[in-house]
């Protein structure tokens, strides 16, 4: 039997597909809390004063020297949860195949970090423009006042830890586990639809065509 078509390697190929399909992070995203309120400014035009304030907020809230640690930590946490989610689909009797997958995940994550590293400045610039566009100048001044306080600095510093907290992480892990479990039946359903379509196409052709 071709080792690349063995049960172990097929399972690993499926797990790798699941890893990518369910959002193993190629980049990390700085996420802001959502709101039902309409943004203060729906215009894409940015007031110079608003942008100055937004830049100061981002500079204090996300110190440049800490940004890689922040982004990479978020990435590592997401990768760990995805690896845990695809665990049940891996072959218990083929540790060699599983080792290949784990090595691939590690290499893929490190390569993704290299890509992310060069994009962080642009991502942060986008965040600055988002702040300047969404909030009014008055709101930005209020936010900046808060960010300058010890509590404000601690809020930004610990915001990423929220996704790593036990309750949040457990809830997210359950979501990932169920999402991965759906991929198997979904793949089978897709193949059945494709097979049915091909059978219909074959049946619709005359003997001469076949």
Domain-located, residue 200: yes
Total domains present in the chain? 1
Residue 14: pLDDT band (50, 70, 90) is: low
Q: What is the mean pLDDT of residues 54-81?
A: 89
**Chain-wide mean pLDDT for the chain?**
79
Note the pLDDT of residue 86.
Answer: 83
User: Would the pLDDT of 36 be above 60?
Assistant: no
Note the pLDDT of residue 44.
Answer: 66
CA within 13 Å, CB half, 167: 1
Domain-located, residue 153: yes
Q: Which residues of 11-31 are buried (b: 16+ CB within 10 A; e: fewer)?
A: bbebbbebbeebebbeebebe
pTM: 0.65
Domain-located, residue 50: yes
Q: What is the mean pLDDT of residues 31-43?
A: 43
Share of the chain above pLDDT 70, in %: 77
Domain-located, residue 142: yes
């Amino acid at each position: 039997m071709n080792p690349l078509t063995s049960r172990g390697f097929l399972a690993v190929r499926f797990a790798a597909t699941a890893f990518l399909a369910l959002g193993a992070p190629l980049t990390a995203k700085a996420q802001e809390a959502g709101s039902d309120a309409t943004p203060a400014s729906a215009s894409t035009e940015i007031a110079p004063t608003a942008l100055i304030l937004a830049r100061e907020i981002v500079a204090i809230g996300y110190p440049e020297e800490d940004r890689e640690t922040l982004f990479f930590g978020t990435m590592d946490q997401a990768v760990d949860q995805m690896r845990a989610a695809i665990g049940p689909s891996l072959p218990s009797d083929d540790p060699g195949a599983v080792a290949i997958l784990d090595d691939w995940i590690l290499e893929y994550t490190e390569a993704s970090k290299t890509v992310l590293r060069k994009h962080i400045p642009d991502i942060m610039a986008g965040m600055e423009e988002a702040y300047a566009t969404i909030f009014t100048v008055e709101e930005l001044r209020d936010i900046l006042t808060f960010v300058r306080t010890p509590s404000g600095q601690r809020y930004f510093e610990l915001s990423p830890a929220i996704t790593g907290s036990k309750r949040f992480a457990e809830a997210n892990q359950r979501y990932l586990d169920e999402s991965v479990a759906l991929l198997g039946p979904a793949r089978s359903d897709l193949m059945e639809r494709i097979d049915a379509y091909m059978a219909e196409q074959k049946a619709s052709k005359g003997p001469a065509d076949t």
